[in-house]
Chain A
């Protein structure tokens, strides 16, 4: 049996809206095995992104716990090496070129040397941007920016990638190519993937699809 790379048990999260307390997540539990791909679908506002932020350790649940590879430490230092994230809005640093944006993940995790530079260049080549490594984000198309973001997520050889609607700002064709790329690279490198998406066809390409409804997580399909 594969190692459980991500485990969430009994997550509850509420937000204050004026004087009302809104329950966003209600008793959500989830586990993802090493190298497994899982998609989470759901309506807007159903709590998908909130769940992803809790899984990433960026926010704390009101109750419940998250563990990465069996350890509850989801702090910034461990996150830098354990986790890669891909966002809908790419979030590239506009002052840095594509190569420097990819390397930024390595810089935050530790010193950068020749090995890291070589890996960043290789990753850019893998996402088809080896000729554009010195272009600034403003000089790249939306699809190219997301490819850079995918390369950045893979830079530190993470055990887990959390992707929050990575095709949300792209046209269908470009979105398909990004999903192909993301799934292909994760499979090839044995990285677990949690993909939050609205797109049913993209979700169908993962090993398992979960559905988020009214703050609860339900299993839709188990191939």
Chain B
């Protein structure tokens, strides 16, 4: 081992002594910075990841919409199914309606799904918490969990659903009776907005409620794993060129502004938190400069023993690097440790402050999501180690510039 590396290790971890106070503070500073970056990046990334997952799970990777009703859904579905990369197509119709249970009204989004094909695109079965998706037919309904809870609706209970068609018909002196549907299931996606205000019915029931006939509002499309959603959406648009009123949007395209805001928030927070690492790097620099001053005579001695200025500089650079490596390792352990217990911490916090409902309302999720991209992790690790090493460069330069004679005379 080169002597400057050996000495750097010995100065950081002296034989038979504890870690020096300055070194410990420097390592702790870096560790706290890295831990904060990891936790924040993971949680911000987790929100983004959950939102993306939720969008895909509830809409498919590609959505086909039309300016007007799609009157020939079978023909369109057949055309879309032939597009390379498409593995599933399911039609949908949706709209707001009035739902009543035990004289309690609600105005949920009613989603009509094709029970035979919806599972090819949207993993609805995964979200069923009570009852069964197999029990969904034209006389039944599946409620979202929070809507069922707020209404007090249970499996087997009967709800009535009316649509704006009721008013339309009344204008023409016609009677359109609300439909009575039995609750066949309760689902929960994990997104507060969807879980509090969504109702699933069959596509036929929705067409009946909105008077759509055979028409639908659009299609959700699933694509083969690993394919780019934008590419497949472009292929679908090419295949549907004969239908000028229709257009396929990838989930990225359809939610681009929302996704941009999420990404922007994550990037801004990361940039702000980078200042923690910068502050920690000043702590490293200050610690190493103090070491240079304290060890001036030893630096002179190293010169007298035959140490070259570059080697003396390397000794201090290595110390900055090692502080960075140790701080980063500690920070990763601390950060991932905290992420492991994040939900327990949140539960404790919300219990103490009585703010669970508020948190769910504003943040949409009942648990704190966490997801960190490997590239983000690499940037955090590499960035921190580089900044820490750079923090060692100025003290190293100072040490290498010391004249051995002056250094040996230093008292």
Contact = CB atoms under 8 A, between A and B. Distances in A.
Interface stretch (A31-39, A89-97, A173-181): A89-97
Contacts of B222: none
B361 to A, nearest CB: 57
A105 to B, nearest CB: 5
Interface in B258-298: 297-298
Contacts of A105: 305
Contact of B14 (A53, A89, A95): A95
Interface string A52-88: 0100101100000000000000001111110101010
B10 A95 contact: yes
B140 to A, nearest CB: 77
B17 interface: yes
A22 to B, nearest CB: 15
Contact of B306 (A76, A95, A100): A76
A108 B306 contact: yes
B305 A58 contact: no
Interface string B370-411: 000000000000000000000000000000000111001100
Given A91-B301, A91-B408, A96 B15 contact: yes
Given A93-B7, A107-B6, A58 B303 contact: yes
A104 interface: yes
B10 A77 contact: no
A170 interface: no
A87 B407 CA distance: 13
Nearest to B411: A89
Contacts of B303: 58, 76
Contacts of B83: none
A172 to B, nearest CB: 24
Interface residues of A, number: 28
A91 B403 CA distance: 16
A185 interface: no
A179 to B, nearest CB: 21
Contacts of B15: 95-97, 100, 136
Given A53-B405, A108-B306, A109-B306, A91 B298 contact: yes
B82 interface: no
B53 interface: no
Contacts of A95: 10-11, 14-15, 17
B359 interface: no
Contacts of B409: 49
A136 B16 contact: yes
B304 interface: yes
Contacts of A89: 297
B408 A77 contact: no
B308 interface: yes
Contact of A76 (B11, B308, B405): B308
Nearest to A109: B306
B297 A77 contact: no
B405 A80 contact: no
Nearest to B305: A108
B3 interface: yes
The CB with the most chain A CB atoms within 10 A, among B301, B308, B409, is that of B301
A53 B409 CA distance: 11
Interface in B289-329: 297-298, 300-308
Interface of A: 49, 53, 56, 58-59, 76-81, 83, 85, 87, 89, 91, 93-97, 100, 104-105, 107-109, 136
9 contacts: A56-B304, A77-B306, A80-B305, A87-B304, A95-B17, A104-B3, A104-B305, A105-B305, A108-B307
Closest 10 CB pairs of A and B: A80-B306, A107-B3, A95-B14, A91-B301, A108-B305, A79-B306, A58-B404, A59-B405, A95-B10, A53-B405
